[in-house]
């Protein structure tokens, strides 16, 4: 075990190479965490994010592989001897109009469910002992507005987010008092993933009460806010510019 004299709290940010996850990693660094950035494909970006931060590292891991979270947690325990927070911001979707149900094959469903639902489940299973040992463990999962209301890029994506929201509620009830589990449910956020979603962007800027889309830093602030909110667990907090207020 290599801990040195650095007693700062440690956070894993899964899916931390780009988008919301990268913003969360930077925000946690400013909060005084040592951050372990985890990503699968965006290796250069992940290393670049880690290089910006104080004492951060990047680990490449395919989070759709059931064994990968345990390997990440084992590395964190060996390197740091503790884990205080887990933020799961990895995700996958497919853009398929909802009425086109015959385009949704098992080959569409399975990778979305593996990464969006089983990924955070396996991570919580692996991280639970270290998070519990910290005495104030935090889990925040990035869900989606599509898992709260009817909408989203496809039915499998929306179902996966609804499932992970409910999972967070159940885990919030199961893992207290040492571990709190919450989810954020962003609406349209400007990331590389949504760069060419011009039709969705136009609808939101026209209809949402705040008349704009969201930005990753705004979601990161909400994640940190939930981590600070010590009397909150098992909750799903929506950040959608007010879009879900519409009838």
Q: What's the DSSP call for residue 39?
A: E
DSSP helix/strand/coil, 118: helix
Whether the CB-CB separation of 123 and 69 falls below 8 Å is answered with: yes
Write the DSSP symbol of residue 90: -
Catalytic residue, chosen from 33, 88, 157, 231, is 157
Q: Which residues of 16-45 are buried (b: 16+ CB within 10 A; e: fewer)?
A: bbbbbbbbbbbbbbeeebbbbbbbbebeeb
CB-CB contact of 154 with 96 (8 Å): yes
Strands (E), the chain: 10-14, 34-39, 57-60, 85-88, 137-142, 179-186, 236-239
| 157 is an active site residue | yes
Active site residues: 157
């Amino acid at each position: 075990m290599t801990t040195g004299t650095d007693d700062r709290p440690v956070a894993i940010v899964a899916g931390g190479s780009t988008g919301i996850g990268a913003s969360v990693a930077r925000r946690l660094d400013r909060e005084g965490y040592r951050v372990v950035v985890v990503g699968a494909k965006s290796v250069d970006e992940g290393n670049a994010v880690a290089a910006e931060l104080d004492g951060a590292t990047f680990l490449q891991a395919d989070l759709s592989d059931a064994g990968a979270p345990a390997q990440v947690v084992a590395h964190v325990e060996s390197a740091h001897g503790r884990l205080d927070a887990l933020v799961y911001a990895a995700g996958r979707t497919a853009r398929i109009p909802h009425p086109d149900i015959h385009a949704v094959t098992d080959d569409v469903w399975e990778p979305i469910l593996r990464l969006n639902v089983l990924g955070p489940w396996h991570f919580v299973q692996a991280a639970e002992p270290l998070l519990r040992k910290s005495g104030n463990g935090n889990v925040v999962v990035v869900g989606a507005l599509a898992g709260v209301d009817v909408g989203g890029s496809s039915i499998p994506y929306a179902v996966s987010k609804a499932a992970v929201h409910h999972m967070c509620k159940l885990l919030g009830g199961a893992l207290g008092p040492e571990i709190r589990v919450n989810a954020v449910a962003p609406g349209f956020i400007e990331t590389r993933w949504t760069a060419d979603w011009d039709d969705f962007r136009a609808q939101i800027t026209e209809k949402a009460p705040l008349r704009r889309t969201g930005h990753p830093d705004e979601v990161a602030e909400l994640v940190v806010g939930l981590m600070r909110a010590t009397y909150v667990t098992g909750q799903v907090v929506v950040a959608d510019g007010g879009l879900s207020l519409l009838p």
